[in-house]
């Protein structure tokens, strides 16, 4: 079962940009597929919109960025958890590990 991290971010978000220096690398180190979804990229966003709307039906409580960890993101997805907002690299890794249970 493929576990993936979906990063929902915006091109004009400074924290999202800062996190991009290590978020994909940390995800790969934990054996997780990483999918970067910019809200401005409508094709990619549309593909994963259902996962986001399941967690945030009205997008009100989203953080920037919002990382949703799930299984089978392109199929019958199952949301395992999330990490919201910006975090230092080590803390980001710990938060991901807490969600995936490693």
User: Tens digit of pLDDT for each residue in 23-64?
Assistant: 999 999 999 999 999 999 999 999 999 999 999 999 888 999
Domains and CATH numbers, the chain: 3-100 (3.40.30.10)
Which pLDDT value is given to residue 25?
Answer: 97
**Model confidence at 102: pLDDT above 80:** no
Cis check for the bond before 31: say yes or no (omega within 30 of 0).
no
Determine whether 79 is exposed, middle or buried from the number of CB atoms within 10 Å of its CB (0-12, 13-18, 19+): middle
Q: What is the percentage of the chain residues whose pLDDT exceeds 90?
A: 89
pTM over 0.85? The answer is yes
Which pLDDT value is given to residue 60?
Answer: 86
């Amino acid at each position: 079962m493929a576990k993936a991290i979906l990063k929902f971010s915006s091109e004009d978000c400074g924290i999202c940009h800062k996190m991009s220096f290590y978020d994909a690398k940390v995800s790969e180190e934990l054996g997780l597929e990483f999918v970067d979804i910019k809200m401005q990229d409508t094709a990619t966003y549309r593909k994963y919109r259902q996962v986001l709307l399941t967690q945030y039906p009205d997008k009100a409580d989203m953080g920037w960025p919002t990382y949703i960890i799930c299984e089978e993101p392109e199929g019958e997805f199952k949301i395992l958890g999330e990490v919201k907002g910006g975090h230092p690299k080590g803390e980001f890794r710990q938060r991901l590990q807490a969600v995936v249970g490693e």
